[in-house]
Structure 1
Amino acid sequence: MELIWTGLLEALRMIISADSEVFQITWLTVQVCIFSTFISTVLGVPIGMLLAFKHFAGKKIILLVSHAGMGLPPVVAGLWVTMFLWRSGPFGEWQWLFTVNAIVIAQIIVSLPILISLSYSAFKKIDDGTRLQIKALAPTKPQSLLLYLKQAQFGLCAAIMAGLGRVLAEVGAAMMVGGNLQGQTRILTTAMVMEVSRGNFHIALALSFILMAIAFMLTFILLRFQQKDVTT
C-alpha cells in the first residue's frame, strides 16, 4: 500500500513540476494512440459495414481473420512489422523501424480487427424493418450512409473505445518496433517496463497513474459523445 501511495505522490509531483521528459512521453503516447485509433476507425468501420450489408467471395474468410485478429498477441504484430521494415525487408528502404511510424503501424494492426469485428456486429444489429424504412425514403448514397451510421452509432462508439483501449495498453509491439528510444519512440507503456526493469517501481506506478488518467479522460469524452447522440 505504501508503494502505491508513493507512486501516486510521484505522479502528482511529475505533473505539478511539469517534468519535461514525462510531458514528452505522455504527449507522444496521446498522439500515437489517437492517430492509430483514427486510422483503424477510418478503415475498420467501412469494412465492417461492407461485411454486414454485402455478399461477396471471401467474405467468410475476412470475417474469420478479423474475429481471430481480435486476440492477436501484440508481439506477433511487432515481429511481422519488424520483418517487413527491417533493412532487408520489403519496406526496409522506408527506414521506419525504430520510429513513431512503426509504432503506429503495429498499433493499427492490433486494433483494426477489433474495429472491423465490432463495427460488423453493430451494423448487423440493425433490424430488417429499419433497413426497409431507410430504403423507402429513397435517400442518396451519402444520405443512406449517414442513416446507417446513425442507427449503429452506439455500437460504433463501443468499437472505437475498445480499439482505443487496445492501443493504450499495448507494449510488446511498441517495444519491439520502436526500440523505446528516449525522446523519439518512448511512450508510457514502454517507459513503465523500463523503470520496472531498473527497479524503480514508484516511477513505474507514477507513469501507470498518468496512463490510467489519460484512458479515463479519452473514454469519458467518447462516452459523452455516445450518450449525447443517443439522447438526441
Structure 2
Amino acid sequence: MNSHDPFTLAFSLILSGDPGLFGIIQLSLQVSLSAVFVASLIGLPLGAAIALFRFPGRGLVITLLNALMGLPPVVAGLLVYLSLSRAGPLGQFGLLFTPTAMVIAQTLLVLPIIAALTRQAIEDLWEEYREQLQSMGSGRVRAIPTLLWDARITLTTAVLAGFGRASAEVGAVLIVGGNIEGVTRVMTTAIALETSKGDLPLALALGLVLLTLVAAVNATAYLLGQMSRSRMQ
C-alpha cells in the first residue's frame, strides 16, 4: 500500500485532524442532533398522547404516522423546499439553503419514527399499568410523564433510530441545503460530491467516519434493547 493509496490518504486526513474534514463532520452532527432534539420534543409527548387518548380518526392517525416512517427523503426535502422558497408560506424568513432548513427537513423525517415508536411503547405500558395508575388517582394526562420515564430505555432506542436516519440521509438536505461548501455541506452530500469529482480520499474519510458513527448508534441501540429485555424478565 503506497502513500497515494486512497485508503492511506483517507486515514491520514482523519488522523491529522484535517480542518475541512472535521468542519463537515461538525456541521453534520450539529444538524442531525438538532433535528433529533426538536423531533423528540414533539414526538415523545405526541406519541404518548396518541397512545392514551381515544378520539375520532385515531386509527387513521396511527396508520398515517406508521406510513410516514418510510417517508422518502427527497419528498420531505421537496415539501420543505416549497415551504421555504420565495413563493412559499415561509419564504420571507430566508431559510432556504441554510443549516436551519436542513434541520427542518431532517426533523420531518425523524418525527414520525420517534412518535410512532413512542406510541407503541406507551400503549403497551398503559395496558400493563392502567389499573395501578388509576387506583393511585393518576389520569391519562398525569400518567404521560410516568410512562415516558418508565419507557426511557425503549424511547432512547427510538431516538437513536431517529438519529441514525437523520445522519445517513442525503436527499432532503441536498435539496434544501444546496451542498454549499463551508455552509451546508454535510457528510452524506460531501461524499456524493467528492466521489463524483474523483476526490476519493476525502470521500473515503467521510465514509469511514459516517460508518463508525452509524455502527456506534446501532450498537448502543442493541445494548439498550438487551437491557430493556433483561428488565422485563
State TM-score, norm by structure 2: 0.87
Q: State how far apart, in whole Å, the 1-side matches of 2:141 and 2:54 are.
A: 20
* CA deviation vs aligned residue, 1:188-207 (integer Å, no higher than 9, x gap): 00000001111233432221
Give the corresponding residue for 2:17: 18
Q: State how far apart, in whole Å, the 1-side matches of 2:151 and 2:109 are.
A: 23
What one-letter code is carried by the residue in structure 2 that aligns with 1:26? I
Give the corresponding residue for 2:127: 128
Matched ranges for 1:1-232 at <5 A: 6-126=5-125, 128-139=127-138, 144-218=143-217
Q: Which runs of 5+ in 1 are unaligned?
A: none
Q: State how far apart, in whole Å, the 1-side matches of 2:6 and 2:94 are.
A: 37
User: Which sits farther off after the overlay, 87-96 or 136-145?
Assistant: 136-145
Q: State how far apart, in whole Å, the 1-side matches of 2:93 and 2:7 are.
A: 41
What one-letter code is carried by the residue in structure 1 that aligns with 2:40? T
Q: State how far apart, in whole Å, the 2-side matches of 1:132 and 1:7 are.
A: 62
Q: State how far apart, in whole Å, the 2-side matches of 1:141 and 1:63 are.
A: 18
Q: State how far apart, in whole Å, the 2-side matches of 1:230 and 1:109 are.
A: 30
Per-residue deviation, 1:46:
0.8
Q: State how far apart, in whole Å, the 1-side matches of 2:218 and 2:97 are.
A: 29
Change (3 A) 1:173 1:216: same
Q: State how far apart, in whole Å, the 2-side matches of 1:64 and 1:229 are.
A: 26
Per-residue deviation, 1:219:
5.0
Per-residue deviation, 1:63:
1.4
The RMSD of aligned alpha carbons is 2.5
Q: Are the aligned partners of 1:79 and 1:176 in contact in 2 as well (CA < 8 Å)? A: yes
Q: Which runs of 5+ in 2 are unaligned?
A: none
What one-letter code is carried by the residue in structure 2 that aligns with 1:167? A
Per-residue deviation, 1:107:
0.3
Change (3 A) 1:205 1:49: same
* CA deviation vs aligned residue, 1:122-171 (integer Å, no higher than 9, x gap): 11221534221122233588863332113322321221121111101110
Per-residue deviation, 1:18:
1.4
**Number of aligned residues:** 228
Q: State how far apart, in whole Å, the 1-side matches of 2:136 and 2:44 are.
A: 24
Give me the identity figure in percent: 35
Q: State how far apart, in whole Å, the 1-side matches of 2:34 and 2:9 are.
A: 29
Q: State how far apart, in whole Å, the 2-side matches of 1:104 and 1:79 are.
A: 14
Q: Are the aligned partners of 1:11 and 1:206 in contact in 2 as well (CA < 8 Å)? A: yes
User: Which sits farther off after the overlay, 161-170 or 209-218?
Assistant: 209-218
* CA deviation vs aligned residue, 1:31-63 (integer Å, no higher than 9, x gap): 111110111111111111111110112322321
Q: State how far apart, in whole Å, the 2-side matches of 1:223 and 1:35 are.
A: 23
Q: State how far apart, in whole Å, the 2-side matches of 1:139 and 1:54 are.
A: 14
What one-letter code is carried by the residue in structure 2 that aligns with 1:41? S
